């Protein structure tokens, strides 16, 4: 049985989104043959380059397609890539056979329609409810054509029951091997050039209001004696903004470097707001694997993984509440929360996720 995972991303971008795709496809491949199909943006990455960039041991078969000379992803790139992707689908269907396709974006609807016409089953993975009328139209159309839908939380399962399709809830995951480091916190700080005598709260990922970082900045002003380290891409709304003196923004780092940053911190922050944009962040599982105490927004999807035995949960969009949670996490007895989180995340591995998705696909086909 042969399938293909179609994506529209620059494989070299180093982002968590791409890291998740590579790990998911690699782990599915342990039980069910699946190749990656992606557009060409500049020079095509090789297998070894991707392994180094993302700290992977294995990368599935890569099929990099022409995308009309475009150099970066975007709406136009997505529309045009459907043409190349459809041509690839038809050529594989005719010459070698294709048993299924796998997509993670409703913008692949044209490809999915062609697949449906040629009786190639589609499996659709989605991480949130559609937010706009355009998204709802595309998402609804694709969901009706899909043979099965893979969801990253029970929170959004209720929305997708309306399509009466087989549903699989498969949370995101972590590579536990990446966190098998014996380095002490002080040593990690020395290597990273972080202050050794300060308490450090750390956040990794896109520095955006959609991720609740505006509330982190407000919290930082309330506790000037604590350093806040934000590691990631600065969203446009924060460019040129004067940050509190105890907030430092560091550039995005490769996935393989993240464990050392998490080890260097006293507290890890997951300050997501109440909106539907990002309810099940990949960083949650990496935070847990680090063993560092977590302060997270008390949201339904996050409560599927975290509780009061393995984290400190606080009201979202509440700077004072976030500060209270941070102070609790800095207490000596809060270390047990990090230990419990590290134990609890052992069931959330990429291997387990890949097996669950592969068996789901095989059962339906």
Are 272 and 211 contacting, i.e. CB atoms less than 8 angstroms apart?
yes
- Give pairs for 160-169: CB < 8 Å, separation 24+: 160/126, 166/360, 166/364, 168/356, 168/357, 168/360
User: 236-261 b/e with 16+ CB inside 10 Å = b?
Assistant: eebeeeeebebbebbebeebbebbbb
Confidence of residue 278 (pLDDT cuts 50, 70, 90): low
Query: Tens of pLDDT along 96-105?
Result: 889 999 999 9
Give me the architecture of the 2-173+349-364 domain, per CATH.
3-Layer(aba) Sandwich (3.40)
- What pLDDT is stored for residue 32 in this prediction? 94
Provide the pLDDT for residue 279.
Answer: 65
How far apart (Å, rounded) are the C-alpha atoms in residues 75 and 83?
Answer: 13
CA–CA distance, 25 with 126 (Å, rounded to integer): 15
Per cent of the chain over pLDDT 90 is 79
Helix (H) or strand (E) run with residue 247 in it? strand 247-250
Q: Does the fold of domain 176-346 match that of domain 2-173+349-364?
A: yes
Residues found in the chain: 365
End-to-end Cα distance, the chain: 10
- Ordered by start, the domain boundaries in the chain are 2-173+349-364, 176-346
CB atoms within 10 A of CB 304: 17
**C-alpha to C-alpha distance for 170 and 356, rounded to whole angstroms:** 7
Q: Per-residue pLDDT for 300 more than 80?
A: yes
> What gap in Å lies between CA 327 and CA 177, rounded to an integer?
30
**CA dist., res. 61 & res. 3, Å (int):** 11
**According to the CATH classification, is domain 176-346 in 3.40.50.2000?**
yes
pLDDT in tens, 132-187: 999 999 999 999 999 999 999 999 999 999 999 999 999 999 999 999 888 899 99
Structure tokens at 348: 């959330």
């Amino acid at each position: 049985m042969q399938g293909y995972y179609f994506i529209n991303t620059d494989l070299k971008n180093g982002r968590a989104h791409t890291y998740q795709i590579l790990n998911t496809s690699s782990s599915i491949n342990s039980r069910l043959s699946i190749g990656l199909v992606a557009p060409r943006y500049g020079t095509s990455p090789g297998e070894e380059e991707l392994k180094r960039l993302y700290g992977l041991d294995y990368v599935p078969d890569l099929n990099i397609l022409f995308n009309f000379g475009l150099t970066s992803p975007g709406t136009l790139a997505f529309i045009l890539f459907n043409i190349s992707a459809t041509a690839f689908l038809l050529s594989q269907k005719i010459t070698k056979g294709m048993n299924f396709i796998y997509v993670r974006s409703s913008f692949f609807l044209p490809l999915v329609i062609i697949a449906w016409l040629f009786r190639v089953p589609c499996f659709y993975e989605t991480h949130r409810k559609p937010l706009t009328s355009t998204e709802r139209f595309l998402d609804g159309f694709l969901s009706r054509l899909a043979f099965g839908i893979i969801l990253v939380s029970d929170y959004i399962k209720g929305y997708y029951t309306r399509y009466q399709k087989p549903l699989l809830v498969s949370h995101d995951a972590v590579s536990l091997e990446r966190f098998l480091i014996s380095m002490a916190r002080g040593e990690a700080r020395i290597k990273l050039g972080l202050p050794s005598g300060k308490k450090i709260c750390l956040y990794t990922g896109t520095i955006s209001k959609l991720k609740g970082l505006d509330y982190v900045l407000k919290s930082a002003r309330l506790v000037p004696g604590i350093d806040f380290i934000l590691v990631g891409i600065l969203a446009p709304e924060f460019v040129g903004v004067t940050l509190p003196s105890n907030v430092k923004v560091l550039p995005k780092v490769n996935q393989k470097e993240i464990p050392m940053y998490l080890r260097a911190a006293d507290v890890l922050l997951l300050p997501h707001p109440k909106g539907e944009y990002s309810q099940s962040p990949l960083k949650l599982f990496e935070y847990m694997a680090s063993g560092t105490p977590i302060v997270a927004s008390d949201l339904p999807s996050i409560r599927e993984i975290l509780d009061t035995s393995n984290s400190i949960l606080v009201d979202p969009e509440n700077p004072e509440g976030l500060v209270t949670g941070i102070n609790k996490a800095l207490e000596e007895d809060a270390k047990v929360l990090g230990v419990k989180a590290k134990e609890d995340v052992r069931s959330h591995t990429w291997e387990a996720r890949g097996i669950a998705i592969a068996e789901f696909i095989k059962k339906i086909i």
